[in-house]
Structure 1
């Protein structure tokens, strides 16, 4: 099969031996696969990322010298079943799948695993219990958005929203856009979104953000106060710190950037008793000042991944139209265009989500 292989800090199209399904596994043909921000991080900072995973006891590891076929946001078609499969989903069924192979002694993350190549290849081996049939005629590129959208759905679930909150989304890349979509699907709002990129601010409006802010011109947090707080509320006053007097609606900030300094920025500028939901995956060391967070009684939630139930729910929400994310896809490429897409994705004015579409 053809596949895009990350090798020696390059992306090259190679001919590889097609994978073979083992017990309880299925062989699939990749139909579409999204390029994820974590793929970009892995490409540019592979050794740092793997070292951080080791230090955090996260069971994602591979030898980059052997070459890696990335891709964990995919839609595929079943070609064959390995031994001991129940075959409830027949050959020809289009599927999405949680990108994991799990046993009592082993965990492999498809797309970040040497034995299990991801959706940057023409074929994959997936664990049968992780498969979810794609409903109806949902296009494969839209179905492939299930994985990143479920990350956002999980983050919104972690926020434990009551419906009274005014959310602030910092960063309108694919995950920030997905968070906006998940919030609007729940009827939570108004939603305020902030990004330096005009193109991404325009996408945030398409996804339903009620107010879009350019941080170079206006503080997102000042904009939040104008929407959510009484006119006489001063978040820096002793009364605000103690929760006395007229109060704003609850503040929930979703950090969807993932660069050093963002958590500290939220701690410094969010009003007292805010919930700070860290969704962006920062791959470097960072610093915060707890002395700022303590008297403000801030809750900081880190969010990662999702549950199987959330994954299934998100796929069906895409199919029935209750979750609309088609505008996230701003470009499509074949395998030969992946390396150039990585370069383009470094410039936020050009793209949000680039989808690899297989012939």
Structure 2
């Protein structure tokens, strides 16, 4: 898939691996992703943030020398359901999520991971238990900021 990548301190559009739905995960097509000041902070300070997170036991376990797909304020449309996903979620539903995904090796913070794309990628893997449906009456752009 195409994504806006943070690579070696610079932003560029390039290819990033498509997400694969694990059990309890869904795949969404990113409809809208908002720029946050923390995205800009990552562009300028990714190495420092990674070092501090490792030093002080923080949640950001990424390698700043590898590609990162930023974006943690997003709204997406479900395009795939992984195994054992609740019947409450359906393909075509618009959703938002906490920017965390649970995987086989623990968790990752979306927008701060080398393994999981954030909202500036075409597709994201999300954990079912952190997803909320967006009401029909709410604009996608508003939902992305929830």
Shift of 1:105: 6.2
Match of 1:80 in 2: 80
Which structure carries more relative contact order (alpha carbon 8 Å, separation 6+)? Answer: 2
Seen in structure 2, the aligned counterparts of structure 1 residues 82 and 116 have a Cα distance that, compared at 3 Å, is same
Contact 1:7–1:65 (CA under 8 A) maintained in structure 2:
yes
Mapped partners of 2:113, 2:62: distance in 1: 6
Tell me the matched-pair count. Answer: 146
Contact 1:81–1:87 (CA under 8 A) maintained in structure 2:
no
Larger strand share, 1 or 2: 2
Mapped partners of 2:22, 2:103: distance in 1: 13
Gaps of 5+ in 2: none
Match of 1:144 in 2: 144
Gaps of 5+ in 1: 147-359
Bigger-Rg structure (1/2): 1
Shift of 1:84: 1.8
Mapped partners of 1:62, 1:109: distance in 2: 9
Larger helix share, 1 or 2: 1
- Where does 1:254-333 land on structure 2 (aligned, <5 Å)? none
Match of 2:44 in 1: 44
Q: Is 1:54 aligned with 2:46?
A: no
Q: Is 1:118 aligned with 2:118?
A: yes
Secondary structure, in 3 states, of the residue corresponding to 2:45? helix
Provide the TM-score with structure 2 as the length reference.
0.93
Shift of 1:2: 1.2
Shift of 1:137: 2.2
Shift of 1:16: 2.7
Seen in structure 2, the aligned counterparts of structure 1 residues 104 and 115 have a Cα distance that, compared at 3 Å, is closer
Structure 1 residues 231-253: Cα deviation after superposition (integer angstroms, max 9, x where no partner): xxxxxxxxxxxxxxxxxxxxxxx
Q: Which aligned runs of 4 or more in structure 1 are off by greater than 6 angstroms? A: none
RMSD over equivalenced CA pairs, Å = 1.5
Match of 1:130 in 2: 130
- Where does 1:342-353 land on structure 2 (aligned, <5 Å)? none
Shift of 1:65: 2.0
Mapped partners of 1:17, 1:57: distance in 2: 28
Secondary structure, in 3 states, of the residue corresponding to 2:68? coil
Seen in structure 2, the aligned counterparts of structure 1 residues 90 and 104 have a Cα distance that, compared at 3 Å, is closer
Q: Is 1:28 aligned with 2:24?
A: no
